[in-house]
Structure 1
Amino acid sequence: MPRSRLSGSFSTPRVDVVIDMGNPVLNVAVDGFIKIGAVAATRAAAEDAYHSAKSGNMSFDKLEHSFKKMCKEGAYWGTAAGLYAGIEYGAMKVRGTRDWKNAMIGGAMTGLVISAASSHDRDKVIMDAITGGAIATAAEFLNYLT
């Protein structure tokens, strides 16, 4: 019985923006902010475009609301990513090694800071720090598998 296979490789386009802040930690944080912020803003735009197309209704007010949502989502997720990237990089430099513990430290500190900025419940802040550390550590372990 004849068989066929698809062979080849797929690659994604790569866009690198270099902004030199004069400090490697700040460079990493700004890079994370820009990349993830752009992804979050694009997701918000795509979601709103879908809802507008589905309803068949597009107005200046909806466009303005969509733009504000893009900015808000981009700023929120960009801040979280920049904070995580900067803390993880800083932990790597302080500890002198690159391993999963840096991701755990970065995730826990990012969860702690973001939660503390939006909540005054101590238990919630601690749980968010634990969750952030766990998610970052799991993501790092998954990176080692691939």
Structure 2
Amino acid sequence: MPSSTFSGTVSSPKLSVAIDMGHPFLNLTVDGFLKIGAVGVTKSLAEDTYKAIDKGSLSKSNIEHALKKMCKEGVYWGSVAGVYVGTEYGIERIRGTRDWKNAMLAGAVTGAVVSAVSSKGKDKVVVDAITGGAIATASKFLNDHYFY
């Protein structure tokens, strides 16, 4: 009986940019800002491309709006990542260990800071801190393969 098999691997592309700011804290923060900022730009570009295709038309105004939105999203996502990475690095240096607790604390601080800057009220800041800590902790567990 004939049989066939399919084999292959899937890997994500890697982009390494070396920017030496003179201190590991600054290097990690800028690296996080740039990489995640690029994700925000790409997300915005994909959304606006879909909208243009759906409408069936493209104008100068649409392009200008898309570029402004891409910049805004890139800066927002990059800033959040920079705060998170910098905070996690600082906590790691203070605690002297690298574990999931650093991610949890950094996520909570980042969630609180981002929420406080948005002026959403005290209760929302607490909820966003809890959410940030939970997401960062889950990401750390998944990234470090604790479940395998």
Corresponding residue for residue 88 of structure 1: 88
Give, as a single letter, the amino acid of the residue that structure 1 aligns with 2:10: F
Give, as a single letter, the amino acid of the residue that structure 2 aligns with 1:98: R
* TM-score, normalised via structure 2 length: 0.92
Corresponding residue for residue 36 of structure 1: 36
Corresponding residue for residue 109 of structure 2: 109
Residues 56-65 or 19-28, more deviating: 19-28
* TM-score, normalised via structure 1 length: 0.93
RMSD value over aligned CA atoms?
Answer: 1.4
Tell me, which stretches of 5 or more residues in structure 2 are unaligned? Answer: none
The equivalences for 1:52-91 within 5 A come to: 52-91=52-91
Q: How many residues align?
A: 146
What SS class does the counterpart of residue 15 from structure 2 fall into? Answer: coil
Residues 2-11 or 66-75, more deviating: 2-11
- Seq. identity, %: 59
Residues 30-39 or 6-15, more deviating: 6-15
Distance in 1 (alpha carbons) for counterparts of 2:10 and 2:142: 21
The superposition leaves residues 21-48 of structure 1 with CA deviations (integer Å, 9 ceiling, x where unpaired) of: 1111111111011001011101111111
What SS class does the counterpart of residue 119 from structure 1 fall into? Answer: coil
Give, as a single letter, the amino acid of the residue that structure 2 aligns with 1:59: S
Runs (4+) off by over 3 Å:
none
Distance in 2 (alpha carbons) for counterparts of 1:49 and 1:28: 31
Distance in 1 (alpha carbons) for counterparts of 2:80 and 2:3: 48
Give, as a single letter, the amino acid of the residue that structure 2 aligns with 1:36: I
Tell me, which stretches of 5 or more residues in structure 1 are unaligned? Answer: none
